[in-house]
Amino acid sequence: MTWAAAHIHSASDARRLAKKRLPWMIFDYIDGSAGEETGAKRNRAALDAATLRPRILQNVSERSLSTTLFGKPSQRPFGIAPMGMCNLSGVGADLMLARLAAKYQVPHGVSTVASTPMEKIIEVADGHAWFQLYFSGDGAGTFKLVERAKAAGYETLVLTADVPEVGRRPRELRHGFKMPFRIGPKQFIDFALHPHWSLSALFAGKPQMANFDMDGYEFDRTESRARADWDTLKRLRDAWDGNLVVKGVLDVDDAVSLRNAGVDAVQVSSHGARQLESAPSPFSLLPAMRAALGPDYPIFFDSGLRSGEDALKALHAGADYVFFGRALQFAIAAGGEAGLAKLWDVFSDELSIAMAQTGLTKLPCAESVASQITLP
């Protein structure tokens, strides 16, 4: 284990160490949120304000963190959220995440704008990968990616629906963050002051949006995605015979409509508060989502998670499964693959200990959530 990995005892440790190692532009791209970032603070405030019900004198000596996901076993109730350009956090980050997914049988969300081709990631993940899809332009390129994902063996497609336009993230804009990289004097100085990252990136080659690094595929990160509508969803449902998840759902009526349209699961998410600064906390919406969708419909959750205890809160609030994002990138930036493994163990330990403190030997189910958590 590396020195940095040994010093990761929480998500905040990973973030602190990553901040020292990453160029300012890269750190702020990963860490930043929309506007003045009050949305990110709101996400954390909602999770922090929720309390769990401690129990005593329960035999909790044998606890299981395993669950099922679309009928298949998963060794943890948390997976890896789709994140674009993960190799910015460290050379080979995409495949580190893929190996972790394979080891624990958890889904690795593979972004449309991943740094590694979708075919390679699902191979390394031993099939434990979901392809995340952005609608873009007139949709022609979008549906080409759908067919490509199908051919690669993906069984679950995640449509991210909360980016009709890319949110304004001032920290990115101040640094002039663009893909592909455009290196000016400011960026040159930034990279020069962070030689460990810069030399690694130099030898590996600058990260690219790998799914578009071939003839016939193009993607503009800033292009409008505003044409996507319910007819688009119907076309996608007709074209995809695997599991279909819609991510970025923050309205109960939308969630019910998605279920009625044949979507297999919804992911309650604010895109890590990177889109609409004034969006509500996704965590605060989980009970209403569960009440509207019933006990059996799959509800996933991300945005603001920083610990295994947070994960347990979300499961009690109504989620079936949750996804960690930024924190995993910070662990890679801090300590490479060893840092990622260490933070994953931290999350697992935090969850297991919180289960013991609250009298649980197995993960909560939808029928048992209400009495175990107090929400603000």
pTM to 2 decimal places:
0.95
Q: Which of 128, 175, 194, 271 is catalytic?
A: 271
Classified as helix, coil or strand, 376 is coil
**Assigned token pair, 26:** 């890269």
Q: Cα angle vertex 35, ends 31, 38, to 5°?
A: 75
Tell me if residue 271 is catalytic: yes
- Cα distances (angstroms) measured from residue 75 to each of 104, 208, 277, 315: 5, 32, 34, 15
- Give pLDDT, residue 353: 98
CA distance 221 to 181: 12
Boundaries of domain holding 182: 3-374
Q: Read off the CATH number of the domain in which 210 is found.
A: 3.20.20.70
Is the per-residue pLDDT at 216 higher than 90?
Answer: no
Closest CA to 226 of 164, 134, 140: 164
- Give pLDDT, residue 308: 98
Is the per-residue pLDDT at 365 higher than 80?
Answer: no
> Could you read off the pLDDT of 7-50 as tens digits, one per residue?
999 999 999 999 999 999 999 999 999 999 999 999 999 999 99
Average pLDDT over residues 65-70: 98
CA distance 169 to 11: 22
> Could you read off the pLDDT of 341-354 as tens digits, one per residue?
999 999 999 999 99
> Could you read off the pLDDT of 153-167 as tens digits, one per residue?
999 999 999 998 888
Helix (H) or strand (E) run with residue 221 in it: none
Beta-carbon-side half-sphere exposure of residue 158 (alpha carbons within 13 Å)? 27
Is the per-residue pLDDT at 181 higher than 80?
Answer: no
Structural domains of the chain, count = 1
Q: Are 302 and 322 in contact (CB under 8 A)?
A: yes
- Give pLDDT, residue 367: 56
Average pLDDT over residues 137-141: 82
